Structure 1
Amino acid sequence: MGEVTERVRGNDGRMGLPTLTISASGGWLDQRERFSGNIAGKEQKNYTLLKKGQLSYNHGNSKIAKYGAVFELTNFEEALVPKVYHSFKTNNLASSSFIEYLFASKIPDRELRKLVSSGARMDGLLNISYNNFTGIRITLPFIEEQIKISIFLRKLDCAITLHQTKLEHIHSLKKAFLQKMFI
């Protein structure tokens, strides 16, 4: 990882930017929507300024992401993210989208598992430092292939979302017909 990424730290003092958090199941979420308000408080000044295309690794474990989750910032041009996340950007050898899909595949979990010898701490954070995280070994195809794979997978994601929305609509329609039929 260290050969294809560079750490992102600090911010420029702008506190009016969206303040985000990572959900293993939903990706980036605005703290106001997730927690009914901004939970950063005074700590927001220590948050990391993340720009579109950059990534963060939330090294908290969950049922969905036992060894943490990596997400690329795509829905905002800039946002503030917790300092506890390992934030980074890719160089010209890696595609941010491909790195996100790679971590979603759980393939890097084999490497991350080696770093978590004593399990999770009581607060749910895995004891994985930034240097250890970027020290994991990953295999990447050439950048052109990464980009093509990412585009293909993004199209599949869009098709799946479209079909899920259509399925939800059909379920609602069925429910409505059943209600009309038995009234």
Structure 2
Amino acid sequence: MANVSSSNGLEKYPKLRFPGFEEPYRALCLGNIATSVNRTDPESMANIMMLSAGKGFIMQSDKYSRDNAGQSLKKYILLKKGELAYNHGASKAKQYGCCYELLEDEARIPYVYHCFKIDEKEFTPYVALELNNPKMDKQLKRLVSSSARMDGLLNISFDDYMSVRLTLPSYFEQMKIADFLNTIDRRIELQRALVESLKKYKRGTFDAVFSQKIRLIPKPQQREWRSYKLSDFASRITRKNGVQSDIPLTISAQYGLIDQRDFFSKTVASADMSNYYLLHKGEYAYNRSTSSDYPFGSVKRLELYPMGAVSTLYLCFTVNNDIILSDLIKWYFESSKWHRTVQEICAEGARNHGLLNVPTNGFFNTIHMLPSDPVEQMAIARYLELIQYKYDVALQELDMLMFLKNGFLQQLFI
């Protein structure tokens, strides 16, 4: 793949180009190569599908647990393989909507989508990639007349969308680029499947270890586990930050306690953090906010910085290593074995601001079944660390592949 730039300032070329291609790119409007698709078929039994940013066409029942088209189904567009649809609904992943090619034989899709097919002289998968490229957002942003309507759809009409400008290479170069990026996509999907598989394996193994279905020391050396109150091995931290740390911490499911400025690309903490709790490396914070991966909140240990400041909404504590190893507790709170004991003290569920009603005293009085033998504690901690390491490596590789793809999307397109 060769580096290519503008030769005379008039003709535009991408930063990267495959060797052997020297034809100039063509600038045109989407409407010059696209034809509207409005076919309907009330008798069709094709799958009912919808567009998902980042995933493309998915079954509507996968999103909503059922097909929710109702009486409007008869107005759904019957899309055929190789045709495209643009969902002009705003989302977190795609602020200005998304456009994908249908890879199934046919599908019934919402009539609010802008549906069209591409002229045979162009390679449809390439056009779909260009239309879904982040670079297209600049044009779409200019088309939005009054932000999002009440129904969540951007005010981009079909004719508006047909006016977006494309810069296309020859048909064969389109094929080369699309095939290359689709190869990366297939590799990404394989890696994503591996990450999901390891995630399930990790979760199952953690739960099996802490429910004693898996024991990691020989049977003759096994001791009975005993029940502990959290306060038996943990002490609450309420020390104030003052001016000791300028790092505002937040909890990330993947990275634990991290700097808010890295996580949000900005600081969402108060400008004055003097009243925040000061956390030292190796100490814990419990965030009572719920999420899909952490239905009872998340407990994380500070590991990336010598110290940091956390909101007083967090419950902070330190672990007494002489009773229970901190390295064990770190993994224990990644399992689901502590959920029930917290659930028992959540009398009224989640409050309006999304925090579970977990009282401070109640949390430190929760009961936990744990090994009392330091040898078994260490064996469990080391074993689970290895499993976490395998998962982290797979996740990092997925992140690297995504970064690589985004780089190519920037450099293979004008």
* Cross-structure match for 2:128: 100
- Which residue in 1 is equivalent to 2:312? none
Identity, % of aligned pairs? 37
Contact 1:20/1:80 (<8 A) preserved: yes
Aligned pairs (5 A) from 1:19-168? 19-74=48-103, 76-168=104-196
Structure 1 counterpart of 2:54, one-letter code = S
Per-residue CA deviation, residues 23-62 of structure 1 (Å, 9 max, x unaligned), is 1132111112221211111111111110011000000111
Query: Residue 242 of structure 2 aligns with which residue?
Result: none
The one-letter code of the counterpart of 2:48 is T
The Cα shift of 1:118 comes to 1.9
Q: How many Å apart are 1:15 and its aligned residue?
A: 3.3
* d(CA) in 2 for partners of 1:168, 1:112: 34
Distance in 2 between residues matched to 1:13 and 1:130, nearest whole Å: 23
> Per-residue deviation at 1:92?
2.2
Give the aligned CA root-mean-square deviation in angstroms.
2.0
CA positional deviation for 1:135? 0.9
Structure 1 residue identity aligned to 2:93: I
Q: Distance in 2 between matches of 1:113 and 1:44?
A: 30
Contact 1:57-1:85 within 8 A present in 2 as well: yes
Provide the C-alpha distance between the structure 2 equivalents of 1:43 and 1:117, rounded to a whole number of angstroms. 27
1:56–1:87 CA contact under 8 A, matched in 2: yes
Gaps of 5+ in 2: 1-29, 217-379, 382-414
- Gapped regions of structure 1 (runs ≥ 5): none
Give the alignment's TM-score, normalised by structure 1: 0.90
Scaled by the length of structure 2, what TM-score is found?
A: 0.42
Q: Which has the larger radius of gyration?
A: 2
Alpha carbons of structure 1 residues 23 and 170: separation in structure 2 relative to 1, 3 Å: closer
Once the 2 structures are TM-superposed, how far is the Cα of residue 166 of structure 1 from its aligned partner? 2.9
The one-letter amino acid of 2:158's match is Y
The count of residues paired between Structure 1 and Structure 2 equals 182
Tell me how far apart the structure 1 counterparts of residues 200 and 59 of structure 2 sit (CA, whole Å).
28
CA distance in 2, matches of 1:77, 1:86: 19
Deviation of 1:171 (Å): 5.0
The change in CA–CA distance for 1:6 and 1:166 in structure 2 (over 3 A counts) is: same
> Is residue 2:43 matched to residue 1:14?
yes
Does the C-alpha gap of structure 1 residues 174 and 102 become closer, same or farther in structure 2, counting only changes over 3 Å? Answer: same
Alpha-carbon separation, structure 2, partners of 1:42 and 1:134:
29
